[in-house]
Amino acid sequence: MIWNDEEKGNCTNGDDRQDIFETYLDATESSDVINEIVQKSDGYTFSETEKLATSINVECAIRGTRYVKSSDVEKAFECFVAGKIGKIEDDQVLPTLEDVGGMFEQKRLLERVIVWPKKYPQLFESVGVPVSKGILLHGPSGCGKTLLANATISNSKFSVVNVKGPELLSKYIGASEENVRLVFEKARSCAPCILFFDELDSLAPKRGHDSTGVTDRVVNQLLTELDGAEGGMKGVIILGCTSRIDLIDDALLRPGRFDHHVYCGHPGEDERVEIMNVLTRKLRTIGIDFEKLSKKTDGWSGADLQLLFTNAQFHNARQISQEEDGLEEDDVAIDSAAIEAVFQDSIPKPKRSEVDTRIGQKVTLA
């Protein structure tokens, strides 16, 4: 079957994949297996579906037969994982910027870098300002990097190709680099698009420390794609998240690749107040002084504050369930007494003072 370059990058539906697999595979004795393949290959493009069918035929040839067995399919999927990653999430329900408490400067920066070039293209062209290729969000765990990234994607109205770093890695030689190339190809096919890499440090660590050389080759392929050698980057913005920027290869952090490094640290006092307002927006609260509570939670992350309110909800639910026969949703209201009851158990460990040294700072033991 022949498709043009534009069609190759388009996603297939079930009927498309059924036709392709029936064309490439012998369906006489394998119809049930083919139906299984169609279901497992949801989200594949035309090009990926054709390559998967070819891989299955190779596995059959190794056994000396043309009929497909489940074992052939499993081996082919192990070697060819691109369709499982980088799924285009046009209809995904994402948080909005109103769902992100605090991070005032970070939100303004991301709007200028991602939204403005799309909103004011003529202005950027007239003044000759280059559009950024990549933005890297970094900082401690639980401080809202992934939440901010998803809210920014929602605000931009771009298509998004969502990738977890480890999903790209494969034990087969050359497969990891092929996965990277296919993900970028998929992003270019649905431009304007944001290619979102979560846990980037697991995908692109510093080169020279991997005995197998897999991640070294992945980093090289990422650099090739970011430099535009494989079809350009027009209409594609790379957004990455990491809790360990010190582990990422230095070449990726240079200008022209990840141009902006946005630090998402522990929220300040005013930011914690806004985070509490966001977290309790859909909860019933009685008599909680957020400003006073904010002063007591210095060094807490957004995730720590969310845990505090969750613990308070469970505390009240236990109290009410022991006193009454039935429990209605409206009965579980969070008050200052519930917060005080669970506060000590909710204090994050280790404390911020114990981890406030800069990453990479030399530590000596006396």
pLDDT digit string, tens, across residues 250-304: 999 988 889 899 999 999 999 999 999 999 998 888 889 999 999 999 999 999 9
The predicted pLDDT at position 268 comes to 93
The predicted pLDDT at position 176 comes to 86
Distance CA 251, CA 258 (A): 9
Distance CA 352, CA 332 (A): 31
Look at the domain 87-263 and name its fold: Rossmann fold (3.40.50)
Query: Is the per-residue pLDDT at 3 higher than 80?
Result: no
210-257 residue pLDDT tens: 767 788 888 999 999 888 755 567 888 999 999 999 999 999 998 888
The predicted pLDDT at position 90 comes to 47
Question: Do the Cβ atoms of 311 and 348 come closer than 8 Å?
Answer: no
The predicted pLDDT at position 302 comes to 93
Query: Is the per-residue pLDDT at 360 higher than 70?
Result: no
The predicted pLDDT at position 28 comes to 53
The predicted pLDDT at position 29 comes to 54
Distance CA 329, CA 317 (A): 9
The residue to which tokens 């308070």 are assigned: 312
Question: Do the Cβ atoms of 101 and 277 come closer than 8 Å?
Answer: yes
Percentage, residues of the chain above pLDDT 70: 82
The predicted pLDDT at position 135 comes to 93
Query: Is the per-residue pLDDT at 84 higher than 50?
Result: no
Query: Is the per-residue pLDDT at 329 higher than 70?
Result: no
The CATH number of the domain covering residues in 5-80: 1.10.8.60
State the alpha helices, DSSP H only, in 263-356: 269-279, 290-296, 302-323, 336-346, 352-355
The predicted pLDDT at position 359 comes to 45
DSSP E strands in the chain: the ranges are 87-88, 134-138, 159-164, 193-198, 236-242, 260-263, 285-286, 334-335
Looking at every residue in the chain, the average pLDDT score rounds to 80
Query: Is the per-residue pLDDT at 358 higher than 70?
Result: no
The residue to which tokens 């952090």 are assigned: 253
The predicted pLDDT at position 323 comes to 67
Task: Using a cut of 0.85, tell me whether the model's pTM lies above it.
Answer: no
Percentage, residues of the chain above pLDDT 90: 28
Question: Do the Cβ atoms of 142 and 101 come closer than 8 Å?
Answer: no
Under DSSP, the state recorded for 194 is E
Topology alike, domains 5-80 and 87-263: no
Q: What is the mean pLDDT of residues 15-24?
A: 83
Kindly list the domain boundaries of the chain, sorted by start residue.
Answer: 5-80, 87-263, 269-355
The predicted pLDDT at position 210 comes to 74
Query: Is the per-residue pLDDT at 357 higher than 70?
Result: no
Instruction: Select, from the ranges 88-97, 144-153, 159-168, the one with the highest average predicted confidence (pLDDT).
Output: 144-153
Architecture label for domain 269-355: Orthogonal Bundle (1.10)
116-144 residue pLDDT tens: 888 888 887 888 777 788 999 999 998 99
The predicted pLDDT at position 11 comes to 65
31-58 residue pLDDT tens: 678 888 887 776 677 777 888 888 888 8
